[in-house]
Structure 1
Amino acid sequence: MTPELPAVRAIPRDTRDILGEGLLWSARENALFWTDILGRKLWRMSLADESIRHLDMPEAIGWIIERAVGGFVVGLTSGFYRLDLDPFRLEFIANPQPERPGNRLNDAKADARGRIWAGSMPFADQPATNWPASGALYCLDASGGITRHDDGITIANGPAFSPDGAVLYHTDSRLGQVSKFALHADGTLGPREPHLQFDTAQGSPDGMTCDREGGLWIAFYAGAKVARFNPDGSLDREIVLPTPQITNVCFAGEDLSRMFVTSAGDGLPDDPLAGALFEIDAGATGVMAHQYLG
């Protein structure tokens, strides 16, 4: 299959992200949010005029999710926090992994029943090839309770949910594996099932989202692309981007037809688009992000 090259636009900014991630479209604010994990920044872009501003965070920040009652939840190195933007306020909820002080939260989404599913990974200075498989997938329920699922992960990424909420997709980027689980109403998961496997030449599967038809869109770190896979796992299309380290993808806008993609500039000082935020004409429509009910 020949990769497609539709309209790809780098959003004008005077800076680049060290490790862009954590995309969220907020209809409530008509704004796109994303994080720079290593830069410790939370970014906000108004879709009305594309004005951009950021907040400096006290720790590495992996992701942001809306709360149904207002405000947000964010994943910092030390755990889950409630976040209010105006005025700025962080309130600690819980650390899901106090016995793993070398870890941080990495990527997360809320499911249709208002729970947050968040993965973790080592936060280490040595090369990734030496990282331990100390990551896991955690669930934060609306009461603040935390359960651990799918342990023994090195770089937990995704997650994503099928449009009907019955399937949870999750990734270990280090192994190039995307797994799927039956997601039950009570928050338990069925057995892990292999869904997709990629070799290093394709890049590492990173952030993911599903479109309205159930297609799974995956950002490929070191792969310079996003790709759509049908529910049966077959490849539908690939979209090439002008920088290799692609990290996350989400749908945005009133009709959820605008696709935004983050990237990482870490280690690529001579690439002027590394760490840019992109908009892609993907020819698909997304599903509204769920909110946390706690």
Structure 2
Amino acid sequence: MAISEPVSIWQLGAPLGEGPVWVERDQALWFVDIKSHKIHRLDPANGATRSWDSPGQIGFILPIASGGFVAGLQTGLSRFDERDGSFTHICAPEPEKPGNRLNDATVDPQGRLWFGSMDDSEETISGAIYRLGDDGHCIATSPLVAITNGPAVSPDGKILYHVDTLGGVIYACDVDSAGMLVNRREFVRIPYGEGFPDGPTVDSEGCVWVGLYAGWGVRRYSPAGELLEEVKFPVSAITKIAFGGPDLKTVFATTANKHIAPADLAKEPHAGDLFRFEVSVPGQRGVLIREGV
């Protein structure tokens, strides 16, 4: 695959940039900074940027078919209206776990929202993958881990990938007709010292891209789990990528400077910035969360 060199396009210095998503109706990239409680939007056509405050830590933001977004907050799912910056609570998947927060999410081809929770201290094994049901309840669909990332879904919607970041494992699961995860298996294991697998994204060929926290890059794996490409960055903590632009061949990457020692930050002046690079294989078209949220 032809891949250009990543370049910084928005000097944010975000402690924990995350959750990039290309929203086709806006022709804009949306993403969050979890620790700064921020939502960001970039319009690549003219370079315009805009930011909103969230009422707490925010792990993701994904568009709804009827307008607005679902935001994953520490308190649960909320509906975000970008016109006035308001948040309206939807549900709390884990009211009994105040130390957890929501961390990453995706929308499958059927318009269903899948998301993960994690221990905010990044230690306790208390996070899980959920699906938002039609009745507004959140359905747990995975064993517990300390830090979940993903999920991400194959182009046909039949395979869901999710990450145990501290365990260094990307799992693949089949999605059954009832919307539950079955046949969970190890897809890729990343050896300790090569970086921690962070947010996964699936391209139009069904290949899985994953950001590497403390790994200085992102990797692309075939549907069989074979390493195909690795894109190196000038910063160590790459959290997740999103495919955007008119042809979905522009890749946007969020990064972080959390956990980087002050003495080392001078070696990574662009840590926490938004990056961009170009690829020859496009991503998948984004799916809006179906009506009823």
Question: 1:5 touches 1:240 (CA, 8 Å); kept in 2?
Answer: no
Cα drift, residue 100 of structure 1: 1.1
In the TM superposition, what whole-angstrom CA distance separates every residue of 1:202-254 from its partner, at most 9, and x where no partner exists?
10111111111111111110001111100000010101000001101110011
Q: Does 1:60 align with 2:52?
A: no
Q: Does 1:262 align with 2:254?
A: yes
User: Unpaired runs of 5+ in structure 1?
Assistant: none
* 1:75 corresponding residue in structure 2: 72
Q: Does 1:43 align with 2:40?
A: yes
Q: Hey, what's the Cα distance between the residues in 1 that align with 2:10 and 2:118?
A: 31
Q: Hey, what's the Cα distance between the residues in 2 that align with 1:272 and 1:88?
A: 31
Structure 2 matches for 1:107-126, cutoff 5 A? 107-124=104-121
SS state of the match for residue 200, structure 1? coil
Structure 2 matches for 1:145-224, cutoff 5 A? 145-224=137-216
Cα drift, residue 289 of structure 1: 1.8
In the TM superposition, what whole-angstrom CA distance separates every residue of 1:69-116 from its partner, at most 9, and x where no partner exists?
111000000000011111222110000011111100000011111211
After TM superposition, the score normalised by the length of structure 1 is 0.94
* 2:269 corresponding residue in structure 1: 272
SS state of the match for residue 141, structure 2? strand
* 1:102 corresponding residue in structure 2: 99
Cα drift, residue 148 of structure 1: 0.7
Aligned CA RMSD, in angstroms, stands at 1.5
Q: Does 1:239 align with 2:239?
A: no
* 2:5 corresponding residue in structure 1: 7
In the TM superposition, what whole-angstrom CA distance separates every residue of 1:111-153 from its partner, at most 9, and x where no partner exists?
11121111111112xxx4xx11101111112431211111311
In the TM superposition, what whole-angstrom CA distance separates every residue of 1:22-43 from its partner, at most 9, and x where no partner exists?
1110011111001000011000
Count of residue correspondences: 286
Q: Hey, what's the Cα distance between the residues in 2 that align with 1:236 and 1:208?
A: 15
Code of the aligned partner of 2:172: K
Question: 1:155 touches 1:173 (CA, 8 Å); kept in 2?
Answer: yes
User: Unpaired runs of 5+ in structure 2?
Assistant: none
Cα drift, residue 158 of structure 1: 1.4
Code of the aligned partner of 1:10: S
